């Protein structure tokens, strides 16, 4: 957690966070305290949503009610001091629409971070590409003779399907770590992120996101991961700006001290990319606010 004097401005919230209810550490209340101390505009809990199959990082379905109660209790505790929002990071897999509908969509959640952690060809068991580099390389060799392109194509296809599905929910959503499929791709070791086929996939996804009016987070956790770049990286973030897609800063924190991880760097990256608007949570409805206005407000403080 940075010093309040380094805080990037009251307009930035931290909405992508994982507590002990899933694979993170710390209580929801610890996060709210850290967010208030960091001078953030709001805090949101986004535990990994339960899945209908065994998964070691997601919240068990049996814990969901307790999670919801705990976030609401924290919201009441911080009333008048810090807005607290109840969210989930939803793992998108094709065909789970009825499960999402039954368990999450009308159950009082304020928002969803929508992410793709699983890939896999039709009819085959889905696999989590982000588990470890060794697992990624093994799957690549076993399924595609080491060629990453079919996996990357599958990933972006899933991003598009996800956006088409969640745009119909009528609830606040944003895309989680858009180019995370490049997690192990430092120095383009598995595929070239400058190739036309890759940039075409990205642009198709951005067309779909723009048409849906969704925001894409700038996930600052990537700077501390093997890829050593925020997600999305600068090239894709610039393309988001060209598409007029709004953004927001996300720490993807797995412990309270990281609630505003690298937010000052993140803000600079948003500015340099030319992002014009950020998504701001509000109990009365989420708003798109001009980023230049945010910076101007800070200058005036
Ligand atoms: Zn994620
Ligand atoms: Zn996450």
C-alpha 296 – ligand 2 centre gap (Å): 30
pLDDT digits (tens, 9 = 90+) for 37-67: 999 999 999 999 999 988 899 999 999 999 9
Q: In whole angstroms, give the CA distance from residue 301 to residue 290.
A: 17
pLDDT digits (tens, 9 = 90+) for 147-181: 999 999 999 999 999 999 999 999 999 999 999 99
Could you list which residues have their CB under 5 Å from ion ligand 2?
Answer: 89, 252
Q: Are 148 and 158 in contact (CB under 8 A)?
A: no
Q: What share of the chain is helix, strand, coil (3-state, %, to 5)?
A: 45, 15, 40
For 242-247, what is the mean pLDDT?
A: 98
C-alpha 80 – ligand 1 centre gap (Å): 30
Higher per-residue pLDDT: 30 or 11: 30
- Residue 234: count of CB within 10 angstroms of its CB: 12
> Residue 222 pLDDT more than 60?
yes
Q: What is the pLDDT at residue 299?
A: 43
CA 149 to chain centroid, in Å, comes to 23
> Residue 3 pLDDT more than 90?
no
For 238-246, what is the mean pLDDT?
A: 98
CATH number at residue 31: 3.20.20.140
Q: What is the pLDDT at residue 9?
A: 52
Ligand index nearest the alpha carbon of residue 251: 2
Mean pLDDT over the full length of the chain:
92
For 8-30, what is the mean pLDDT?
A: 92
The torsion of the CA quartet 124, 130, 134, 139, rounded to 10 degrees, works out to 20
Domain that holds residue 128: 4-300
| The total number of residues written for the chain in this structure | 301
Q: What is the pLDDT at residue 293?
A: 55
> Residue 234 pLDDT more than 70?
yes
Nearest to 289 by CA among 48, 3, 12, 44: 12
Q: In whole angstroms, give the CA distance from residue 243 to residue 257.
A: 34
User: Rounded to two decimals, what is the model's pTM?
Assistant: 0.93
Task: Domain count for the chain, please give it.
Answer: 1
Lowest-pLDDT choice from 24-28, 68-72, 217-221, 297-301: 297-301
pLDDT digits (tens, 9 = 90+) for 69-80: 999 999 999 999
Q: What is the pLDDT at residue 226?
A: 86
Q: In whole angstroms, give the CA distance from residue 91 to residue 262.
A: 25
Q: How would residue 198 be classed by pLDDT, with cut points 50, 70 and 90?
A: very high
- Residue 194: count of CB within 10 angstroms of its CB: 9
pLDDT digits (tens, 9 = 90+) for 100-134: 999 999 999 999 999 999 998 767 788 899 999 99
State residue 209 phi and psi, 5-degree precision: -65, -45
Q: In whole angstroms, give the CA distance from residue 150 to residue 297.
A: 46
C-alpha 253 – ligand 2 centre gap (Å): 7
Q: In whole angstroms, give the CA distance from residue 155 to residue 133.
A: 16
Inter-CA distances, 269 with 87, 223, 255, Å:
25, 12, 23
Q: In whole angstroms, give the CA distance from residue 6 to residue 100.
A: 39
> Residue 143 pLDDT more than 90?
no
> Residue 296 pLDDT more than 80?
no
Lowest-pLDDT choice from 120-124, 155-159, 258-262, 264-268: 120-124
Q: In whole angstroms, give the CA distance from residue 269 to residue 276.
A: 12
For 210-236, what is the mean pLDDT?
A: 95
Q: What is the pLDDT at residue 5?
A: 41
C-alpha 20 – ligand 1 centre gap (Å): 15
C-alpha 296 – ligand 1 centre gap (Å): 32
State residue 60 phi and psi, 5-degree precision: -65, 145
Q: In whole angstroms, give the CA distance from residue 20 to residue 240.
A: 33
Could you list which residues have their CB under 5 Å from ion ligand 1?
Answer: 115
Eight-class DSSP state of 147: -
Q: In whole angstroms, give the CA distance from residue 3 to residue 1.
A: 7
Q: How would residue 13 be classed by pLDDT, with cut points 50, 70 and 90?
A: very high
Q: Are 226 and 183 in contact (CB under 8 A)?
A: yes
Q: Give the three-class secondary structure for 132.
A: coil
Q: Are 109 and 86 in contact (CB under 8 A)?
A: yes
């Amino acid at each position: 957690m940075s010093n309040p004097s380094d805080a990037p401005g009251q307009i930035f919230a931290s909405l992508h966070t994982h507590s002990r209810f899933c694979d993170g550490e710390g209580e929801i209340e610890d996060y709210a305290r850290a967010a208030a101390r960091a001078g953030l505009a709001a805090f949101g809990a986004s535990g990994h949503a339960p899945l209908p199959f065994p998964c070691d990082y997601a919240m068990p379905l049996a814990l969901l009610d307790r999670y919801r109660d705990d976030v609401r209790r924290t919201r009441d505790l911080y009333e008048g001091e810090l807005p607290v929002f109840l969210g989930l990071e939803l793992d998108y897999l094709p065909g789970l629409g009825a499960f999402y509908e039954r368990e999450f969509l009308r159950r009082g959640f304020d928002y969803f971070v929508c992410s793709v952690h699983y890939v896999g060809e039709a009819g085959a068991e889905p696999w989590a590409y982000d588990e470890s580099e060794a697992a990624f390389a093994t799957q690549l060799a076993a399924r595609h003779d080491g060629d990453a392109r079919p996996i990357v194509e599958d990933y972006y296809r899933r991003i598009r399907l996800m956006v088409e599905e969640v745009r119909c929910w009528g609830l606040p959503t944003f895309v989680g770590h858009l180019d995370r499929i490049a997690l192990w791709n430092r120095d383009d070791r598995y595929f070239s992120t400058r190739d036309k086929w890759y940039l075409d996939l990205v642009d198709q996804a951005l067309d779909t996101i723009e048409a849906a009016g969704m925001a894409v987070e700038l996930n600052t956790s990537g700077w501390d991961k093997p890829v050593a770049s925020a997600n999305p990286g600068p090239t894709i973030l610039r393309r988001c700006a060209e598409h007029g897609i709004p953004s927001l800063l996300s720490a993807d924190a797995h412990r309270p001290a990281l609630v505003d991880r690298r937010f000052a760097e993140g803000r600079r990256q948003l500015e340099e990319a030319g992002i014009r608007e950020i998504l701001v949570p509000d109990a009365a409805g989420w708003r798109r606010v001009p980023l230049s206005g945010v910076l101007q407000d800070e200058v005036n403080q």
